[in-house]
Amino acid sequence: MTTKPQTANLFGNEWARDINMFLANPTSFISKSSKTTDLLIDDMLMIISTSSTILSLKLAILHVFLNVELFQTSKSYLTKIVTALEYLSSQFVEQKDNLFLHQLLAALTTLSIELDERFLHDSIQLTKCVDLLLIQANQVADGTRSERVLVRSAACICLSELEEVYPGILYSKLSYLFQYCQLEKTFIRQYYLSLFCTVLRHSLLKFKSIEFEEQANSLQFFFSPTTVLIPFIPPKNFREESAHLLCSSVDCVMSPNLEKVDLKKSFSTLLDASTNMTHTMLANTMHKLSDCVLLAGTHPSILKILYHRYIHSSSIVLLQLVYSLKAKFGRELFDIAEESSFERSIFWALNNPHNLNPHTLLLYTWLIHFPILDPITHREDNRVPNGLPLFQLCYPTPFDSIDLTVRCFHLFSASELILEEPRSINTHLSVLVQRVKSQPGSYATAAFFHTLYLFLHRSHPALMIQSIRVILTDLYLSYPMLAPYLINFMLVITSIVPANNFAIPMLSYIVKHLQTLRQVRTADLMFHLQLVEYAALTPKFNLDSLLVLLHSVLQPEVLEEGDWHLGHTILDVCRALLLGIHSDSQFQRACALLYRIRAKYTDVDVCNEAGFLLILITSVSTKKYRPLLSKASETNAEPSLKDLVVGTTFQLTAPITHIPEVILQLEKMPNKTSSSSTAYSNPPTVTRDPTEILKQYLTATDQLIDTSFQLNFNLSYAPHAKPSTSMQTIYAISLHLSDNPHYHPTASITIPKLVYKAPSENDKRNVSFEFRPKLPFPAQFSVSAIFSLQDGATYQTPLAHLEVSFSDLVLPIPLPQEISEQDTPALFEALWSHLSRKCFSEKNTESKCTESFIKLNKPSESVTRILLHTLSPNIVTSSDNLIQLLLYIPPRHHILMKARVSPDSTDVSILTDEWRLLSYFNQYMHTLLAQM
């Protein structure tokens, strides 16, 4: 059989379009192809196994195998595909099949892992895959031949993937892999080296583990091949002792008396073979090799060759390799001179004009955490050494990004240059200051304050504190909107710099300056008052200056304007002042201030609150009113006004006792099927345009609030419950349902009383829950009940889970007033045509519409009886051989059915605007038919 007829039968001439349709909706495509899934897989495997099939179609089918969930969720389908791909990978040996075989090996590895993880959980299938990949990787090139490099590189990558997923699976193949690394002479040697280092690292980790001896027997079984590996035939000039070098090394690692000479020779061989690798592959491989050196206990000096090779490299990747070696081995590998040389290399790399911004940020981070002599850590006290003239080379410019500028200043704060010239901080920060002035309140502002914190956190000599204070004062007076940033900054540095040295002098200067201003914009005044409030709460601050400032702020125009926000901000400052006032003169001036606001401020709310504060402070002692005025009283559990008046504290909420046993139950009541629905045996003559009916319906549903439905339950004591005498009558039962991501929150329901009697005579109370779905799916809710007893005790008990099934979601279609029941058949046909067009429209790629088909091998009388009895409110038309149903699924989805009835079977065509409903509907129909 040729490929052409297979391609035409399965996908047609437009196979690319057909494959896209298959990927979009596999179930619908299979139902239309009149083939079972097994036959479809057989046809696809036949296509890719035929040599005359074009390469693009073969690759497209491999893509289908990897991305169709239907094939991967069935053990039989997945096993068939993996077995066939294993056979194909062993058959394709021609040079022209290299590209396809490359993709075939990748697909085989992915599906083998999927099969093992989902179903098998054993090593038999994996070892088959490993052996096939080793057969492809075995054909190394010795310098005179370089065939099939694409296939062999793919085999190495796939083996590396298997080793990463199943660490140790290639342990028994170490000797072969080491020979491949020495014999391969083409550019793909890097893949062999990476694979070998991965396997060696996992092997050494196994040898280090305590449980290795206990797992030895199981490991031998796990790594035993199912097929014989192709014998290794080395070239004539290959020395036999080199081939067994690694095997003896592994034996040494496992022996109690560890001899590391052979293993060290193996590391040297790998380092010599690591030339001519891509930078990324080289860094990745050498990271693994350095882990092996660390695990084996070999002295890291063997890796010094990497330092000499890449210390002056312009590649960020290779510099990072050297940096990671410094982090891993510290002084064992680098001495002081070598560390200084590497540090200078990083500085020169910072000035590479071709650096990307993330690379530059990374280089700055390396320098920030680059202490001398010690291994690299992230301690905040690490310092860059004294006198770094190279710092001037990477000084930030106005053209650098904000992150880059901050990182540069972070490095500068870590150096000791800042201790030598603390006065120069004004000049250094000018770059950031200009950005803050150009965009106050932006990301640059946060970066600026973060940089100041770094300077003060590292060191804070008096001259530096004075310089920063001057910078902040000038900035704030020019841009009052920086008040929130300045307040947060002072709060953060309180633990670093005492308030007497920083906050109080700066705030005093700002307050004196504000007293000299004659007119201030309301927006700026709001920010000034925030800073004044913070000053009032600062211990040891002079409150007299703040009282003078507030009296000067309350000018007649401010009082007459009566701004609500400004008035409440002034009252907040007054509360802060009242918390710190200690002298009678300050108290009298505060009372005069409040009286002035009470008498002349034009906003009534502000006047009333000022009057309340005035009455409070003149009627209640300082000890009692201060906790009321403190903003922290709510969190510190200070006495409330009720406590001061009543003199005691009442417990406002009763403790709840949890009962783990289920003593209550919710019994679901059957939904009442409406018998008034009209099903037309002969559809009435359409007098209106179906397109107009559909437009009216879609417009109405678009404006419709999410549809809700009710479910009725009976609440009673559980049949097995044996409540104590005190719990045989419960009161104020509140039923709570848990939240579900697919539904809006459901309101709780309260029942006044429930009485326990004999199990057959228990009191039952009808309750109804209203559900509003966000998505049209069934759901499960956790239910709990909180109730009280006659003595006032409160209890909580769980109930059985409440289920919302698919049958609960099936509702009659909500017809708007413009559409009568006689228009329903026309609406059905118009909606069917509308959804069909959306299903098969290539332009509408985001559509969730889909069409499906079900064949029911049941007598027609039984199917008709089930549909007419269960779904009678949803029947549109009904005749001897055709039943049309329209199901409305909240919030706004539809399922349309055309059931063509014959004596022995029924063919059901299904169309829906939500493809995820099909699985629930299929299960629902099977449940109905099982009741026949």
At residue 656, the 3 state secondary structure works out as strand
pLDDT of residue 207: 73
pTM, two decimal places: 0.48
Q: Does 681 lie in the same domain as 750? A: yes
Beta-strand relationship, 765-771 and 709-717? antiparallel
pLDDT of residue 686: 54
Q: Does 623 lie in the same domain as 543? A: yes
Q: Does 646 lie in the same domain as 513? A: yes
Q: Which two tokens stand for residue 615?
A: 């009455």
Is the pLDDT at 644 greater than 70? The verdict is no
pLDDT of residue 112: 86
Q: Does 845 lie in the same domain as 777? A: no
Residue 573 lies in a domain: yes
Q: Which of 597, 617, 650 is the last residue of a domain?
A: 650
Q: Does 879 lie in the same domain as 767? A: no
Is the pLDDT at 931 greater than 50? The verdict is yes
Q: Which of 806, 838, 869 is the last residue of a domain?
A: 806
Q: Which of 627, 650, 673 is the last residue of a domain?
A: 650
Q: What is the CATH number of the domain that holds 858?
A: 3.30.310.10
* Residue range 616-642: mean pLDDT, rounded: 64
Residue 26 lies in a domain: no
Q: Does 668 lie in the same domain as 609? A: no
Residue 908 lies in a domain: yes
* Residue range 343-349: mean pLDDT, rounded: 75
Domain count, the chain: 3
Q: Does 673 lie in the same domain as 608? A: no
Q: Does 725 lie in the same domain as 790? A: yes
Residue 728 lies in a domain: yes
Q: Does 875 lie in the same domain as 762? A: no
Residue 836 lies in a domain: yes
Q: Does 765 lie in the same domain as 831? A: no
Residue 385 lies in a domain: no
Give residue-wise pLDDT tens across range 768-819.
Answer: 999 999 888 899 999 999 998 887 788 889 998 899 998 888 988 888 888 8
Beta-strand relationship, 729-737 and 656-658? unpaired
Q: Does 663 lie in the same domain as 638? A: no
* Dihedral sign of CA atoms 921, 924, 930, 932 in order: negative
The answer for residues whose C-beta is within 8 angstroms of residue 322's C-beta and 6 or more apart is 306, 307, 310, 311, 342
Is the pLDDT at 409 greater than 80? The verdict is no
Q: Do you find a cis peptide bond into 719, omega within 30 degrees of 0?
A: no
Instruction: Give dist(CA 74, CA 78) in Å, integer.
Output: 6
* Dihedral sign of CA atoms 88, 89, 93, 98 in order: positive
Residue 72 lies in a domain: no
* Dihedral sign of CA atoms 850, 851, 855, 856 in order: positive
Residue 63 lies in a domain: no
Region of 729 (left: φ > 0; alpha: ψ -120 to 50; beta: rest) is beta
* Residue range 834-852: mean pLDDT, rounded: 77
Tokens 């900054």 correspond to 489
Evaluate whether 614 touches 595 at the Cβ level (below 8 Å). yes
Instruction: Give dist(CA 671, CA 13) in Å, integer.
Output: 51
Is the pLDDT at 730 greater than 70? The verdict is yes
pLDDT of residue 377: 39
Q: What is the DSSP string of 546-581?
A: HHHHHHHH--HHHHHH--HHHHHHHHHHHHHHHHH-
Instruction: Give dist(CA 169, CA 164) in Å, integer.
Output: 9
The answer for residues whose C-beta is within 8 angstroms of residue 401's C-beta and 6 or more apart is 357
Tokens 């909580």 correspond to 796
Cα radius of gyration rounded to whole Å, the chain: 40
Q: Does 837 lie in the same domain as 785? A: no
Q: What is the CATH number of the domain that holds 745?
A: 2.60.40
pLDDT of residue 147: 64
pLDDT of residue 230: 37
Q: How does the average pLDDT of the chain come out, rounded?
A: 76
Q: Which domain holds residue 553?
A: 498-650
More confidently predicted of 670 and 647: 670
Instruction: Give start and end residues of each alpha helix (H) in 116-148.
Output: 124-137
Is the pLDDT at 28 greater than 60? The verdict is yes
* Residue range 561-580: mean pLDDT, rounded: 88
